[in-house]
Amino acid sequence: MRVMEPNEVMKRLDETITMSSYFTWGEALWMGQSQAYALPSIEQIHNIINMAQALDKVRAHYGRPITVLSWLRTPAHNKLVGGALKSAHLDGMAVDFVIPGINLHKCREELNGLIEVWPYRIEQGTPTWIHVDLRSGTRKFYP
């Protein structure tokens, strides 16, 4: 598989992410509070592709669209939104999302119990979104 160069990705914001069924480059790169798109590095592009494939399983499980609130962040945007200093969003390995019509708390608990759907890190305690990431490589549920 040939991975696109960063400038090529920026020309394809409306296109589905490589090897994903549901998510677009625009969803992964849009930084809402900054009203701008992040320009990803090659490594971040790889991470975004991996995350999109993982999130495809969540999307398929619920049979509903996922609304991405935050995916890749620049350091400046991460600071603006009060993100952690070493946030996985900086690497494109974390996503904050909601699934309209699905209760956040129930969704978190369900994903925590469905290792075949989401075998990665899930963060609890985010009041209006679900935070998941791939960085740790081990399954953790943070209260």
Instruction: Summarize pLDDT for 17-68 with one digit per residue, the tens.
Output: 999 999 999 999 999 999 999 999 999 999 999 999 999 999 999 999 999 9
The conformation of residue 104, written as its DSSP 8-state character, comes to H
What pLDDT band is residue 14 in, cutting at 50, 70 and 90?
very high
Look at residue 56 in the predicted model and tell me its pLDDT. 97
Share of the chain above pLDDT 70, in %: 92
User: Percent of the chain having pLDDT more than 90?
Assistant: 71
Give bridge partners of residue 130 from the DSSP assignment. 97
Structure confidence at residue 8 (pLDDT): 87
Between 89 and 138, the higher pLDDT residue: 89
What is the reported pTM? 0.91
Q: What is the mean pLDDT of residues 101-118?
A: 90
| Residue in the block written with tokens 């075998």 | 119
The string of DSSP codes covering 15-27 is SBPTT-SS-BHHH
| Angstrom distance (rounded) from CA 135 to CA 29 | 18
Tokens at 113, concatenated:
């119990």
Q: 23 with 16: CB under 8 angstroms?
A: yes
Residue corresponding to tokens 């600071």: 79
What is the average pLDDT value for the chain, to the nearest integer?
90
pLDDT at 3: 66
